[in-house]
Amino acid sequence: MRSAGEDTIRGRVDKIAGRVLEAVGKLTGNRRADAKGKAARARGVGRSAKGRLKRPARR
């Protein structure tokens, strides 16, 4: 199982990679790359949220 920090960082990386892939897909007209970029961004949002949930509640 990954730590909270690792999940959060991997989520950020997925979001950035997804944006890049989506932009490349739109620029070249490649619908598959565009869809993969959107999927990577969604995965990144989920991982970031998972990392935040793992952290203990702050007072």
pLDDT of residue 59: 54
CA-CA distances (angstroms) from residue 10 to 1, 14, 23, 24, 27? 13, 6, 20, 21, 25
pTM of the model: 0.83
> Could you tell me if residue 9 is inside a domain?
yes
Mean pLDDT throughout 39-51? Answer: 95
DSSP state of 29: T
Residue 33 has phi, psi (to 5 degrees) of -65, -40
Position 32, amino acid: R
3-state secondary structure of 58: coil
> Could you tell me if residue 36 is inside a domain?
yes
Mean pLDDT throughout 3-15? Answer: 93
Domain of residue 49 covers 4-54
Residue appearing with tokens 């619908």:
31
Q: Is the model's pLDDT at 40 over the cut of 70?
A: yes
> Could you tell me if residue 10 is inside a domain?
yes
Mean pLDDT throughout 8-30? Answer: 96
Number of domain units in the chain: 1
Mean pLDDT of the chain: 92
